[in-house]
Amino acid sequence: MISILRNITGITLLLLLCNVVYSQTAEELNTRAEKVLTTDPEKAYAFLLEAREKNNSETLSEKISMNFAIVKRIKGEYRESIRLSDEVLKKAKSEDIKASAYNNLGAAYKRVGENEKAIKNYISALSIYEKTKNLMDAATVENNVGLLYQSLEDFGKAKEYHESALKHFSLIKNQEGISKSYNMLGIVLANQEDLEGALGFFRKSYEIEQRLNNKVGISEAVNNIGGIYFYLGKIDSALVYFEKSLQIDRENKDYSNLADGLNNLAEVYMNSGDYRNARLNLDSSIYYSTKFNYANAYLHSLETYSYLFEMENNLRSSIDYLRKYHAAKDSVEQISNRENINELEKKYQTEKKERLLLQKEIELKRKTNLITIIFTVLFSFVIIAVLIYRSLRLRNKQQRQEFELKEAIATIETQNKLQEQRLAISRDLHDNIGAQLTFIISSVETLKYAFRITDEKINNKLLSIADFAKETITELRDTIWAMNHSEIDFEEIHGRISNFVEKAKKSSEHIVFNFEVDELLKNVVFSSVEGMNIYRIIQEAVNNSLKYADATRIDIHAEMAGNEIQLFIRDNGTGFNLLTADLGNGLQNMKKRAAEIMAICEINSEAGSGTEVILKMKK
């Protein structure tokens, strides 16, 4: 649930305030930048550039540099923000500046998915603010820590931090902080499935942000209200709120939140069955999340694409995107390890250079020994390289096998669950509806013989009811037959159609039936949906010929033409004019069924020349 809700600007900002004026003009510019950091980062950046040019104070310089780092993070340039924050920490003398740098590092590391580094920096910031009794900034960091615990799905711990932050913001009557705390508590309650409670917090946040006229805060609240309506099943309301939130994000050029919002909108369309719009929004989210290095939104998009393809029964594409998701997630989680490895590599290279210098000095005195040492080192290096290569190769092979096994198990489990659901539904249909239809037939027969009804109209009506119930039972059995199979081969369809044709022969003895099937089709396999629709199309075409065509011959022919299956149902009946005739529900239903299985249904007819129905399907 947490993926569709959004916290305010991802992580709350700590703005640096200046108490001593060193350069009035530079100080004013820095203060103006701090006021628009969240609402207009581009304008804030321009103010900071001018402030840096006019500043001649070392203390104010630290604050300006810190605000540059914050702006970079808000604009989605997380690695640059991390670099600038690290530079500030190296030079900073003020405890408040250090705390702000630690907080910004926590926010940036969280955005790129490095949660271990994020929590480490947040705790460092919180420790400083608690020592200096800075309630506002301490509460801000408490909210940030709570957000991190949310991402780790420890919602109990997250709730403790957000409630503590709300208490501190309320003590100092900081409306912006109160709004942010309401927003975050709403997300926690949503994840704990208390949707009404969450909606109450989001509305409180929205009311405060409107009073403050904070567009970013309004966007967050609107997005989250839309998320709750989505989970409550109020899709139309959810769409309205999500679109409104995206409009504000575009105006603010808040691309990280825009990527999150596009993912949310895609989920709404996907659950509504509008897969085209779901793809469009997912593609847009992937564009923004990759361009601005927003790891969480990118992972969310890949995971949602996997679910989308699964809903479309495209298991291969679903598994491909699931593989991409896990690969990207593993890559994000291993960034910290790679940096440690790079650091060790640097140390190794330094030591190697020192050894080479030493070897050059020894070479002047002991040439022979040096040659021996070189050969020994080379030989050892080759042995180590071979061992490392074999170890890596074995580990990669094991990981690949484990992943393939997990994929296979997941696929089997999904198929088993679907089959169990099909069987359960088919049993219910057979035991309940089938039994009720049988009871209707029995009751009609009892009425006929028990009361000796002589009225011909009543007798005919009862006979019509019994026949309709029997036909319904036959249709129900066909449906149950399709539901009990995950796959249906053409041989089974052939058998069903043959049974149907035999029944038709008995009721229409004056009509000659001819049913031919290409041998190449016997081993062709369809999904249950495809098989049932093919059978229904042929059944509908034959029934139309029997009822309306006044035909004496009906031909059914199935063949394989290249990679296309072609079915022909022809009669020699009266036919009709396609341009003037009123096409009934039966013909329209055939076309709809064909469209559902990505096939083409053509109907050819002329008055006096019979009718031909052609079904073409790629296979």
Q: Does 587 share its domain with 451?
A: no
Please give the pLDDT value at position 148: 84
Q: Crossing angle, helix 367-428 and helix 315-333, to 10 degrees? A: 140
Report DSSP state, residue 581.
S
Contact assessment for residue 613 and residue 571, using Cβ atoms and an 8 Å cutoff = no
Q: Enter the pTM of the model.
A: 0.42
SS3 labels along 154-222: CHHHHHHHHHHHHHHHHHCCCHHHHHHHHHHHHHHHHHCCCHHHHHHHHHHHHHHHHHHCCHHHHHHHH
Where a domain ends, among 484, 506, 532?
484
pLDDT at 182 over 90: yes
Q: Which residue has the higher pLDDT, 343 or 465?
A: 465
Please, what's the b/e burial string for 410-431 (b: 16 or more CB within 10 A of its CB; e: otherwise)? eeeeeeeeeeeebeeebeeebe
Q: Does 476 share its domain with 518?
A: no
Instruction: Calculate the average pLDDT of the chain.
Output: 80
Q: Which residue has the higher pLDDT, 11 or 186?
A: 186
Please give the pLDDT value at position 586: 79
pLDDT at 386 over 90: no
Confidence of residue 337 (pLDDT cuts 50, 70, 90): very low
Query: 321 phi and psi, to 5 degrees?
Result: -75, -30
The Cα–Cα gap between 371 and 381 comes to 15
The Cα–Cα gap between 287 and 132 comes to 43
What pLDDT digit, counting tens, does each position of 86-107 carry? 999 998 888 889 999 999 999 8
The answer to whether position 345 is within a domain reads: no
How many CB atoms neighbour CB 264 within 10 A?
Answer: 26
Q: What percent of the chain has pLDDT over 90?
A: 20
Q: Does 52 share its domain with 130?
A: yes
Please give the pLDDT value at position 483: 57
Contact assessment for residue 535 and residue 485, using Cβ atoms and an 8 Å cutoff = no
Q: What three-state secondary structure class fits 392?
A: helix
pLDDT at 188 over 90: yes
Lowest mean pLDDT among 147-161, 234-248, 467-481, 531-545: 467-481
Could you write out the DSSP letters of every residue in 480-546?
A: HHHHT-SEEEHHHHHHHHHHHHHHHHHH-TTSEEEEEE-GGGTT-EEEHHHHHHHHHHHHHHHHHII
pLDDT at 49 over 70: yes
The Cα–Cα gap between 249 and 251 comes to 5
pLDDT at 491 over 70: yes
Burial label for 158, CB within 10 Å (0-12, 13-18, 19+), is: buried
pLDDT at 295 over 60: yes
Closest of 575, 603, 573, 606 to residue 590, by C-alpha: 603
Please give the pLDDT value at position 218: 86
The Cα–Cα gap between 616 and 80 comes to 57
- Alpha carbon distance, N-terminus to C-terminus of the chain: 39
How many CB atoms neighbour CB 593 within 10 A?
Answer: 21
The answer to whether position 293 is within a domain reads: no
Domain count, the chain: 3
Q: Does 67 share its domain with 172?
A: yes
Q: Which residues lie across from 527 on neighbouring strands?
A: 487
Lowest mean pLDDT among 46-55, 135-144, 478-487, 521-530: 478-487
What pLDDT digit, counting tens, does each position of 424-458 carry? 555 555 455 655 656 566 666 666 666 666 666 67
Q: What three-state secondary structure class fits 254?
A: coil
Closest of 468, 612, 614 to residue 551, by C-alpha: 612
Q: Does 385 share its domain with 522?
A: no
Lowest mean pLDDT among 175-184, 345-354, 458-467: 345-354
Confidence of residue 342 (pLDDT cuts 50, 70, 90): very low
The Cα–Cα gap between 178 and 520 comes to 71
Q: Does 103 share its domain with 151?
A: yes
**What is the mean predicted confidence (pLDDT) over 107-112?**
88
Residue linked to tokens 């960034």: 335
Q: Does 480 share its domain with 492?
A: no
The contacts of residue 570 (CB under 8 Å, 6+ apart) are 554, 555, 557, 610, 611, 612, 613
Where a domain ends, among 484, 514, 532?
484
**What is the mean predicted confidence (pLDDT) over 253-271?**
83
In this structure, what CATH number is given to the domain that contains residue 59?
1.25.40.10
**What is the mean predicted confidence (pLDDT) over 213-242?**
86
Largest CA distance in the chain: 130
Q: Does 501 share its domain with 588?
A: yes
Q: What percent of the chain has pLDDT over 70?
A: 78
H/E element holding 560?
strand 553-561
**What is the mean predicted confidence (pLDDT) over 495-503?**
83
Q: What three-state secondary structure class fits 323?
A: helix
Please give the pLDDT value at position 453: 66
In the numeric block, which tokens belong to residue 49? 């550039």
The Cα–Cα gap between 25 and 88 comes to 22
Contact assessment for residue 568 and residue 539, using Cβ atoms and an 8 Å cutoff = no
The answer to whether position 169 is within a domain reads: yes
Closest of 570, 579, 617 to residue 595, by C-alpha: 617
C-alpha of 261 from chain center = 12
pLDDT at 170 over 90: yes
The answer to whether position 225 is within a domain reads: no
Q: Which residues lie across from 517 on neighbouring strands?
A: 558
pLDDT at 412 over 80: no
Q: Does 453 share its domain with 411?
A: yes
Lowest mean pLDDT among 211-225, 298-312, 363-377, 456-470: 456-470
**What is the mean predicted confidence (pLDDT) over 177-190?**
92
Please give the pLDDT value at position 10: 40
Q: Does 70 share its domain with 147?
A: yes
Please give the pLDDT value at position 58: 84
The answer to whether position 326 is within a domain reads: no
The answer to whether position 256 is within a domain reads: no
Could you write out the DSSP letters of every residue in 590-602?
A: HHHHHHHTTEEEE
Query: 514 phi and psi, to 5 degrees?
Result: -135, 120
What pLDDT digit, counting tens, does each position of 579-614 carry? 777 767 778 888 999 999 899 999 999 888 899 999
Up-side HSE of residue 475: CA atoms within 13 Å toward CB?
Answer: 12
Q: Does 417 share its domain with 530?
A: no
In this structure, what CATH number is given to the domain that contains residue 551?
3.30.565.10
The answer to whether position 522 is within a domain reads: yes
Closest of 281, 275, 265, 331 to residue 3, by C-alpha: 265
Please give the pLDDT value at position 345: 34
Q: Does 498 share its domain with 439?
A: no
Domain of 39, in residue numbers: 2-214
The answer to whether position 203 is within a domain reads: yes
Lowest mean pLDDT among 246-260, 476-490, 551-565: 476-490
